[in-house]
Amino acid sequence: MNGLHLTADLYDCQQPSLLIDEAALQQLCLSQVELVGLKAVSACWHQFPASAAGPGGITGVVLLAESHLALHTWPERGGVTLDVYVCNFGADNSDKAQALLAALLAAFAPRWQQLGHLQRGELD
- Which residue in 5, 13, 67, 68 is the catalytic one? 67
List per-residue pLDDT tens for the chain, 124 residues long: 789 999 999 999 999 999 999 999 999 999 999 999 999 999 999 999 999 989 999 999 999 999 999 999 999 999 999 999 999 988 999 999 999 999 999 999 999 999 999 999 875 5
CA distance linking residue 66 with residue 86, whole number of Å: 5
Q: Three-class SS of residue 76?
A: coil
> Could you give phi then psi for residue 20, rounded to 5 degrees?
-130, -5
Contact 11, 110 (CB under 8 A): yes
- Selecting among 5, 13, 68, 87, the annotated active-site residue is 87
72 as an active site residue: the answer is yes
pTM of structure: 0.95
